[in-house]
Amino acid sequence: MSNSASEFRTVALVGKYQSAEVAEALGRLSAYLQTRGVSVLVDEDTARVVGGVGGARAVTFEQIAERADLAVVVGGDGTMLTAARRLGSYTVPLLGINQGRLGFLTDVGRGEMIDRVGEILDGKYLRERRVLLEAEVLRDGVPVFSSVALNDVVVSRGEVGRMIEFELTVDGEYIYSQRSDGIIVATPTGSTAYALSANGPILHPRLAGMVLVPLSPHGLTYRPIALSHDSVVDIMVVAPHDARIHFDGQTLFDAHGGDCVRVRRSFQSVTLLHPPGYSYFAVLREKLHWSATPRLS
């Protein structure tokens, strides 16, 4: 836990687009930060959609990376994923204010955001690092696309109404050939996202590994596999099948038969800040409704 009260002199605001509630929250945050003597920036796309944020200067993500000591993300997990992928190559820590539905990554409620931001400005916070994946698509051995992901890289059949076939290799060793709807390569952060809905395991975010989760495989013996942090995963799309590659569900690339999707842990990482008392297991209990009172039939 930090005890510095003057660490965050410039704070950037990033919001979920096209939401009146986000506009109101951004305005309140900006006003509060300015009363604390903090310089306030706002992502230019957010400012354009919500009509500006009083007292905040609209800037690009590149300028946020250069100038901000902290980025406060107001929205849902999707908004946080966007910010994390855009700022992953920099050292700007992120704080999430939940305006979405589930909020595994945005763990501060809107009703308490001023108090929690105040605590963080006073140096009362927990710092946590989350790993990223980097992936590239190789065509005839030549990279034709690359991206990073905080949650997952998904190789899927896309809009095609039939299974795809691929060969899976880990660290140069052939694992299996599979016909299925696809496969998920997830980080511990992403283990509570799409991978969880596909019956994958939950990995604690302090783990540095990754997990492979098949999507509706044509066979009952294919199961999720947890891998080490330094594993290299190759997914070769078998012709004549094509596949669609999703990165955090936000960026996509259409791969052809013979293309190889290579996934490994990135040297980049994302730093999340949490208010005092944050507990990952408490988040799981709340979001997954563990120990909830049973409903009466």
In a domain, 5, yes or no: no
Give the CATH number of the domain where residue 279 resides. Answer: 3.40.50.10330
In a domain, 297, yes or no: no
**Facing residues of 177 across strands?**
167
In a domain, 294, yes or no: no
Give 283: exposed, middle or buried? Use CB within 10 Å, 0-12, 13-18, 19+.
middle
As a whole number, mean pLDDT of residues 90-116 equals 88
Pair (148, 257) in one structural domain: yes
Pair (182, 281) in one structural domain: no
Our count of domains for the chain comes to: 2
CA distance linking residue 244 with residue 252, whole number of Å: 7
Pair (103, 163) in one structural domain: no
Q: Which of 77, 181, 234, 248 is catalytic?
A: 77
Q: What is the pTM of this model?
A: 0.90
- Minimum mean pLDDT among 55-59, 65-69, 253-257: which range? 55-59
Pair (53, 32) in one structural domain: yes
Pair (118, 156) in one structural domain: no
In a domain, 2, yes or no: no
In a domain, 40, yes or no: yes
Pair (251, 234) in one structural domain: yes
In a domain, 234, yes or no: yes
Range of the domain at 167: 132-267
> Could you check whether the bond before residue 240 is cis, i.e. omega within 30 degrees of 0?
yes
Q: 206-240 pLDDT, tens per residue?
A: 998 999 999 999 988 999 999 999 999 999 999 99
In a domain, 296, yes or no: no
Cβ neighbour number for residue 238 with a 10 Å cutoff: 15
Does the annotation mark 115 as catalytic?
A: no
In a domain, 191, yes or no: yes
Pair (88, 185) in one structural domain: no
Q: 237-296 pLDDT, tens per residue?
A: 999 989 999 999 999 999 999 999 999 999 989 999 999 999 999 999 988 889 866 666
